[in-house]
């Protein structure tokens, strides 16, 4: 799935492969270059294992909603859902 957000004067794109637990990011943090990051970085620091386990059995739409809500809590708004 690909999700694009805006917030805090920047854009970011999350490219998530749940099956293989791969996560790529394009953002200011990566100098707007696509970079693969550790799967755990999708989750809150210190809660990675618990949150990964809690989201493991969610359907893709439910998982996507969880990511969108978490990003909203950090001040980001979904601007594009690439599936």
Q: What is the pLDDT of residue 22?
A: 96
pTM of the model: 0.88
The model's pLDDT over 16-40, given as tens digits with 9 standing for 90+, comes to 999 999 999 999 989 999 999 999 9
The whole-angstrom separation of Cα 62 and Cα 20 is 18
| Tokens read off for 56 | 């493991």
**Side-chain half-sphere exposure of 34, counting CA atoms within 13 A:** 9
Q: What is the pLDDT of residue 27?
A: 94
pLDDT over 80 at 67, yes or no: yes
SS3 32: coil
């Amino acid at each position: 799935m690909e999700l694009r957000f805006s917030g805090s004067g920047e854009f970011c794109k999350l490219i998530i492969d749940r099956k293989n637990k791969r996560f790529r990011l394009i953002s200011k943090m990566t100098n707007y270059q696509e970079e693969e990051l550790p799967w755990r970085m999708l989750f809150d620091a210190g809660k990675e294992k618990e949150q990964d386990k809690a989201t493991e059995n969610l359907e893709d739409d439910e998982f996507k909603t969880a990511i969108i809500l978490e990003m909203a809590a950090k001040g980001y708004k979904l601007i594009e859902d690439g599936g």
